[in-house]
């Protein structure tokens, strides 16, 4: 026998077997045989009884039902194939369809549910309610609002009470230190903001910091070599962060610096300055702006043996703010002092450069770093080294309202916009006469 003849015999035999098995399956599962033992029943098991209450009839999606066979009242589009028996025990029958005629076909003058035409007008599906506006973020309800691409149109919803706290290591020096070394210590900051003219997007912020330096004292020429230096900054003012679709952010605050055992002469001056900032978002990832300070209250102390004077250095800076896709922020600054020295006619310095970076670890914590340097207006040497200024700080920031990571440079709307006064944005000039 050729292989073609053998192949034909195998295929024909398989088809015949399939036809016979199909006929046997229909006979085994027909309604008339429901009381017969199932071929899959365990030996000795009781036969399946017929249902006591027949199911109501419904249109058969697969053709006219055989006479005497009652069909379950599923919707027509979900009716099971004919000949497979009623629904399993325990399923409740659907009520009879009152909108069908004697032949079991839907009446044409009554509206029927159709997946093509949709539900009747009086049974139209209701639109799901819109998600509530994000106003509280402590539970993470604003995380979805902040997700998205870096576009200025992305929402900046956040808690109506914005709060941040920082714990930092800090070192600084400036003209008040003279020829003495820098100061190293620890700083704790807290800054809060709330809306006051919400229709205009105006908020009010208030914050303070406390720093303690030189735990082991200072060497000469400091007049106090054993006592630690303490420093408090207080900042308050108004701000406006751009909300979604807007580009301009700005703020105006007043800074106070309160010192104890300050400078190489160990005095306790309290001085103040005004500080303002304007920022324009080019996109969700980049913005440019300017910020500046101008001195306000100065400190003068005259005693029989010496004269001390301290005053904030007015300055102007331009900056570039960049937001990374994973939520980090960087600020790069360049500027110059605009006020003259207390002694002499030259500016208090020649140039100022600085940078700040914040890297979110999650929605509540972020790593923070800041650095600033003001070059003196004299050549390098003993006088120049006593006239420059710098500040370096690093630590961790905490945002209980889950504001550590935001999608654009605009940031969370009611988080304080202006940073607290510190030894980077509050530079001090001094003069001393014996």
CA 251 to chain centre: 22
3-state secondary structure of 160: coil
Record the tokens describing residue 127, joined without a space: 């639109």
The 10s digit of each residue's pLDDT in 257-270 is 999 999 988 999 99
pLDDT at residue 92, as a whole number: 55
pLDDT at residue 122, as a whole number: 52
Q: Are 178 and 197 in contact (CB under 8 A)?
A: no
| Residue whose entry in the numeric block shows the structure tokens 């003001």 | 374
pLDDT at residue 22, as a whole number: 47
Phi, psi of 200 (to 5 degrees): -95, -5
pLDDT at residue 301, as a whole number: 84
Could you tell me the residue ranges of all domains in the chain?
155-433
Average pLDDT (323-333) is: 95
- Which stretches does DSSP call E strand in 338-385? 351-360, 365-375
3-state secondary structure of 6: helix
Cβ neighbours of residue 350 closer than 8 Å, sequence gap 6 or more: 336, 375, 376, 377
C-alpha 151/C-alpha 90 separation (Å) is 56
C-alpha 362/C-alpha 396 separation (Å) is 12
Q: Are 132 and 266 in contact (CB under 8 A)?
A: no
C-alpha 82/C-alpha 74 separation (Å) is 13
The 10s digit of each residue's pLDDT in 191-243 is 999 999 998 999 999 999 999 999 988 888 788 888 899 999 999 999 999 98
Record the tokens describing residue 395, joined without a space: 């630590």
pLDDT confidence band for 404 (50 / 70 / 90): very high
pLDDT confidence band for 155 (50 / 70 / 90): low
CATH 1.10.1670.10 fits 155-433, yes or no: no
Record the tokens describing residue 246, joined without a space: 């807007």
Query: How does DSSP assign 29-52, residue by residue?
Result: TSGGGTTSPPTTSPTTPPPPPPPS
C-alpha 212/C-alpha 230 separation (Å) is 5
C-alpha 234/C-alpha 396 separation (Å) is 20
**C-alpha count within 13 angstroms, C-beta hemisphere, residue 393:** 28
> In angstroms, what CA-CA distances link 344 with 92, 348, 349?
99, 9, 12
pLDDT at residue 31, as a whole number: 42
C-alpha 316/C-alpha 339 separation (Å) is 10
C-alpha 231/C-alpha 258 separation (Å) is 6
Q: Within the chain, what is the greatest distance between any pair of CA atoms?
A: 132
Higher pLDDT, 24 or 396: 396
**Residue 28 predicted with pLDDT over 90:** no
**Residue 83 predicted with pLDDT over 90:** no
What residues form DSSP beta bridges with 360? 366
3-state secondary structure of 354: strand
Average pLDDT (41-66) is: 49
Residue 374: burial class (beta carbons within 10 Å; 0-12, 13-18, 19+): buried
The C-alpha angle 17, 22, 23, rounded to 5 degrees, equals 100
Record the tokens describing residue 308, joined without a space: 């001390």
Query: How does DSSP assign 173-221, residue by residue?
Result: E-GGGTTS--EEEEEEEEEEEEEEEGGGTEEEEEEEEEEEE-TT---TT
| Residue whose entry in the numeric block shows the structure tokens 């940031």 | 411
pLDDT confidence band for 290 (50 / 70 / 90): very high
Q: Are 164 and 397 in contact (CB under 8 A)?
A: yes
| Residue whose entry in the numeric block shows the structure tokens 């506006």 | 133
Higher pLDDT, 389 or 387: 389
C-alpha 19/C-alpha 22 separation (Å) is 5
**Residue 103 predicted with pLDDT over 70:** no
């Amino acid at each position: 026998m050729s292989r073609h003849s053998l192949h034909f015999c195998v295929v024909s035999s398989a088809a015949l077997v399939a036809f016979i098995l199909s006929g046997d399956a229909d006979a085994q599962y027909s309604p008339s045989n429901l009381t017969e033992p199932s071929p899959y029943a365990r030996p000795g098991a009781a036969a399946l009884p017929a249902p006591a209450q027949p199911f109501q009839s419904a249109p058969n999606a697969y053709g006219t039902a055989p006479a005497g066979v009652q069909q379950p009242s599923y919707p027509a589009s979900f009716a099971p194939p004919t000949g497979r028996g009623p629904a399993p025990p325990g399923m409740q029958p659907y009520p009879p369809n009152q909108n069908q005629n004697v032949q079991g076909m839907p009446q044409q003058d009554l509206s029927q549910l159709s997946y093509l035409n949709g539900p009747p007008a009086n049974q139209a599906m209701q639109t799901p309610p819109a998600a509530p506006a994000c106003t509280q973020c402590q539970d993470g309800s604003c995380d979805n609002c902040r997700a998205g691409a870096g576009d200025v149109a992305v929402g900046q919803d956040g808690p109506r009470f914005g709060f941040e706290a920082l714990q930092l290591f800090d070192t600084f020096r400036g003209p008040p230190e003279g020829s003495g070394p820098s100061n190293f210590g620890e700083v704790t900051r807290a800054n809060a903001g709330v809306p006051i003219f919400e229709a205009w997007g105006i908020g009010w912020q208030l914050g303070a910091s406390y720093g303690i330096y030189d735990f082991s004292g200072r060497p000469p020429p400091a007049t106090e070599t054993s006592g630690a230096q303490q420093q408090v900054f207080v900042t308050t003012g108004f701000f406006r962060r751009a909300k979604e679709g807007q580009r301009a952010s700005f703020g105006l605050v007043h800074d106070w610096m309160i010192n104890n055992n300050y400078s190489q002469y160990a005095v306790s001056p309290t001085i103040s300055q005004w500080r303002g900032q304007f920022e324009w978002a080019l996109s969700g990832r980049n913005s440019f702006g300017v910020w500046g300070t101008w001195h306000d209250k100065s400190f003068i102390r005259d005693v029989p043996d010496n004269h001390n004077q301290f005053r904030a250095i007015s300055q102007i800076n331009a900056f570039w703010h960049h937001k990374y896709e994973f939520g980090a922020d960087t600020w790069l600054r360049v500027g110059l002092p605009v006020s003259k020295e207390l002694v002499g006619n030259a500016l208090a310095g020649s140039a100022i450069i600085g940078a700040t970076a914040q890297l979110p670890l999650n929605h509540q914590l972020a790593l923070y770093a800041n650095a600033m340097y003001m070059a003196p207006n004299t050549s390098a040497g003993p006088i120049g080294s006593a006239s420059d200024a710098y500040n370096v700080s690093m630590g961790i920031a905490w945002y209980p309202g889950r504001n550590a990571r935001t999608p654009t440079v605009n940031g969370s709307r009611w988080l304080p916009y202006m940073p607290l006064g510190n030894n980077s944005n509050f530079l001090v000039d001094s003069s001393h006469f014996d």
